[in-house]
Every structure is written in structure tokens, then in C-alpha cells.
Amino acid sequence: MIDSITGGYLTAEIAGIILFLIGVYGLMTKEDLIKQVLAINIISAGIVLYFVGVAYVSGGGVPILPNDKVVDPLPATLVLTGFVVDVAITALALAIIIRIKGERK
């Protein structure tokens, strides 16, 4: 089925969009808070995969050395920052969920 949608190949951008949509679906349909946190992590993974696919330059070199094709370092920086923010959001959300579930008992 994926082959018919993507024309026979699956790129990183399309895989990122699919992961993003799966995460949004999970966020909208699941009522359990831990499952919602997992859905947010899936959304984040989709965004990272999309950025990696967009930033890929075939045959690109490092921007320090003189070369015709160079890879833009800004998406890699954004992805690393996104990882840090994602871990912080996940830890905070899980701590709040543990606190909420502890108060309900």
C-alpha cells in the first residue's frame, strides 16, 4: 500500500510525515495519559525524521572545507535541541502523571 502512495519508494520526509500523523492520531484517540506522552514522543520522532530527510544533501561535504556541495548544519542543530527538549518534556510529563495518579489513590 505504501508503494502505491509514494510511487515505489519511501523517503525520510514521507516516513516522518507518516510518523507525525500516527502520533497525532494517538494523541487524539487515547485517554490514558502515559499513552498520550508516548504519542507526543512519536510526533517528535516524526519531526526529527522529516528534518533529517529535508537536510540530506547527496554528496555533500562539511561546511568547513571548500566544496561545491555542503550540508547545512542548522537542521542538525535543531534536531539536537529537539532531542533535549523532548527528553525534558517527557520527564516532566511522566513526573506529573505519577503525581496525579498518586493523588487519586
pLDDT tens, 42-90?
A: 999 999 999 888 888 778 777 787 778 888 888 888 889 989 999 999 9
Q: Which domain holds residue 36?
A: 2-104
Q: Cell 498520550 belongs to which residue? A: 36
Q: Give the side-chain half-sphere CA count within 13 A for 67.
A: 13
Residues 6+ apart with CB under 8 A from 51: 16, 75, 78, 79, 82
User: Containing H/E element for 104?
Assistant: helix 74-104
- What span, in angstroms and rounded, lies between the C-alpha atoms of 18 and 55? 18
Provide the domain count of the chain.
Answer: 1
pTM, to two decimals: 0.81
Q: Give the side-chain half-sphere CA count within 13 A for 17.
A: 9
What is the CATH number for 9?
1.10.287.3510
